[in-house]
Amino acid sequence: MNPNDEIRHQILQYFYDRNSNATSRMGKKGSAVKISDAKRQLKEAFGLKQPQVMSNLTYLIDNGWVKTIDIEKTVKVKGGTIPQTTTFYEISAKGIDKIEGGSQFEPRERFAGININATGQNVITLGDGNVVNAKFADLHNALEELKVAVTESSLDESEKFDIAIDIENIKDQLAKNEPDKTIVRRLWSSLEKVATVSGVTAAYEKVAELLSSIIG
């Protein structure tokens, strides 16, 4: 048995328990946690040292058991504002299945039966069965950050739902080597209303910048 496996299990169990007891996404009792808090709590619970946490957490992230969430905001400083990014760590659906032993709700491969490699595209297969063209990976991640920001905003639930669907439809276009500009423009125009929503603006602007390479 790999001696690091016990540590990896302890870390994954920590994130699983945190998710199970969470009352929010972020915050003191949130499912997602800053690395400083994770290090401290893992030391208290299992006596893990910081190098043990970081090296094995990297392994868990790279294999999809744990995911990172980058929250961006602007901070006022003398003479203007500067962007600030805070990274949170959270167990993924794959990590939950690892602890629980799988689920009937686990998504099936969306493109089963299709040899994606034969298309000649350089694509990345994601943990949820979706794929994204490698050249649009940053945009795909930014869209996911935007969806998280919208989910945690003050918008009503029906608005959040509609916006999330439009974001997912844009992400679907990113599997292509050449996304349909007409479709992407139409979907993006429907999201203009979130540009000024508190807590969403920074994520919106990041997507807008990356999306300009597609829709101009």
| Rounded Cα gap, residues 72 and 206, in angstroms | 9
For 123-179, give the DSSP string.
EEE-TTS-EEEGGGHHHHHHHHHHHHHHHTSSS-HHHHHHHHHHHHHHHHHTTSSS-
Confidence of residue 135 (pLDDT cuts 50, 70, 90): confident
Quick check: 116 pLDDT over 60? no
Closest CA to 194 of 141, 132, 143: 143
Tokens of 31: 């499912």
Quick check: 111 pLDDT over 60? no
Domain ranges of the chain: 1-103, 107-216
Confidence of residue 145 (pLDDT cuts 50, 70, 90): very high
pLDDT digits (tens, 9 = 90+) for 35-68: 999 999 999 999 999 999 999 999 999 988 999 9
Residue partners of 13: CB distance under 8 A and separation at least 6:
99
| Rounded Cα gap, residues 57 and 80, in angstroms | 36
pLDDT of residue 113: 52
Quick one: average pLDDT of 119-139?
A: 70
Are the C-beta atoms of 136 and 174 separated by less than 8 Å?
A: yes
Q: What angle do CA 137, 142, 144 make, to 5 degrees?
A: 100
pLDDT of residue 47: 95
Mean pLDDT for the chain overall? 86
- The CATH code for residues 1-103 is 1.10.10.10
For 22-74, give the DSSP string.
-SBSSSTTBSSEEHHHHHHHHHHHH---HHHHHHHHHHHHHTTSEEEEEEEEE
Quick one: average pLDDT of 59-87?
A: 87
Quick one: average pLDDT of 75-87?
A: 83
